[in-house]
Chains A and B, each alone.
Chain A
Amino acid sequence: MDHLQVFLDHLREHHAVFYGAVAATAEAMPGTFRRVGAPMADWAHACLGDDFARVLAEGYVHLVIEANQAQMRYEKRGSYEHRSYAEVYEAAYGNEAFMTKYHWGLYVAMFAWVHHLRLFSFYEREFLPRLGEGLTEGGREVVADLGSGSGIWSRFALDAHPGLACVGVDISPTSVDEARRMAASTGFAARSEFVLGDATAHRLVEPAHAAISSFLLEHLERPEALLDNLAANLAQGGYAWITAALTAAEIDHITEFRRESEIVRLVEDAGLRVIATLSETPRAARSKLRFVPRSMAVVAQKRRNDIW
């Protein structure tokens, strides 16, 4: 069964207003949309059962509404709503029903938003091929996924390289449970470990060959702590994939990045060499707005010395 189509049909039937943008993404990038969306819909079905389309659709609609309302308030206020983890916990993290919807909404946004698909193409082109450089036949390398959420970025890395295993770290019990459940239901449990922990402090037993941290920096009071810990967990010469949201207000975004160079600087200060960057805006971003939300990706390598 084509689970991606089942999801799209459900979205069109029950949330017609929200279907159009997803259909436009599918039309703009048909190959990437299917390459990302089809396995993700299959994995969601394996994890959630026959009710998967409703859960994904309701999560996605919830996310779009929450994110756009927050962006409108941000446009008026000129700053993010929350400044501390404690405030965000009160508003969101402490509410399990909210977080479950949010979790699946973010999952769908990975393939429903065209700017995220562009980041994914960049991931395929600039990051994944580098992971294979040190792999030998029958060898095993580890990718650390800090702030793993549903574990989807590392999952695509495991799909691309059979010799890879991942260790995901997330502070949300909901996310850790969902990531474990999905790995188990889709045959990846033996190569995936998801642990409850603080991505800014958790240390792996041995340095990882590669590291991923996707859309976590903006959730932290001290984003530099995440990058310092990422670098500490990374073997010398290992590659990193880092993404962040800029001037994009969501209920749990704390650190407001306004310029791409702020993120590049943080990555460099952590001891990494920036190899490639990409910054993308949503299709619907309107030029009259003061704050245009962007998503940025950085491919970096752990430096051997101060220079390279």
Chain B
Amino acid sequence: MSNREEIRKRLQAIFQEVFDDDELEIDDATSADDVDDWDSIMHITLMVAVEKEFGMQFNAEEIGKLSGVGGLIDLIEQRAG
């Protein structure tokens, strides 16, 4: 399994928890338009959960520019690398 796929799987569990939807499936193309309730408040809740899961912190500029799963995986990969 690629590192990217591993990150996606861990993110999927976070998304399901944050958005309270066990059926929620995400991929690189998933954006805020595809997920019910993905608004600014949920975005910040999501990012706090991601920071905790991956043991990293993002600044406001990074959080503010994200709009989809692909970009989030890129960011985690960059930070981990």
Query: From residue B15, how far is it (CB to closest CB) to chain A in Å?
Result: 14
Chain A contact residues, majority secondary structure:
helix
B44 engages A61 (CB within 8 Å): no
Residue A220 at the chain B interface, CB threshold 8 Å: no
A284 adjacent to chain B (CB < 8 Å): yes
Stretch binding the partner chain, chosen from B18-26, B57-65, B73-81: B57-65
Question: Known interface pairs A16-B67, A17-B66. Does A62 touch B60 (Cβ–Cβ under 8 Å)?
Answer: yes
A residues in contact with B33, CB < 8 Å: 16
Shortest A29–chain B CB gap in Å is: 18
In the bound complex, how far is the Cα of B63 from the Cα of A68, in angstroms?
12
Q: Are A64 and B31 in contact (CB under 8 A)?
A: no
Which residue in B39, B41, B64 is a CB contact (below 8 Å) of A61? B64
Whole-angstrom distance from the CB of A137 to the nearest CB of chain B? 48
Would A65 and B64 count as touching, CB distance under 8 A?
yes
Range for the number of chain B residues in contact with chain A:
10 to 19
If over half of B's interface residues share one DSSP class (helix, strand or loop), that class is named, otherwise mixed; here it is helix
Number of interface residues of A (CB under 8 A): 17
B44 & A68 in contact (Cβ 8 Å cutoff) = yes
* Further pairs besides A16-B32, A21-B40: 17, Cβ < 8 Å: A15-B64, A15-B67, A16-B31, A17-B38, A17-B43, A17-B67, A61-B60, A64-B40, A64-B44, A65-B64, A68-B40, A68-B44, A69-B44, A72-B45, A284-B39, A284-B40, A284-B41
A residues neighboring B (CB under 8 Å): 14-18, 20-21, 58, 61-62, 64-66, 68-69, 72, 284
Q: Contact residues of B with A, CB < 8 Å?
A: 31-33, 38-41, 43-45, 48, 60-61, 63-67
Closest 9 CB pairs of A and B: A61-B64, A16-B67, A65-B60, A68-B44, A17-B43, A284-B41, A18-B40, A17-B32, A62-B60
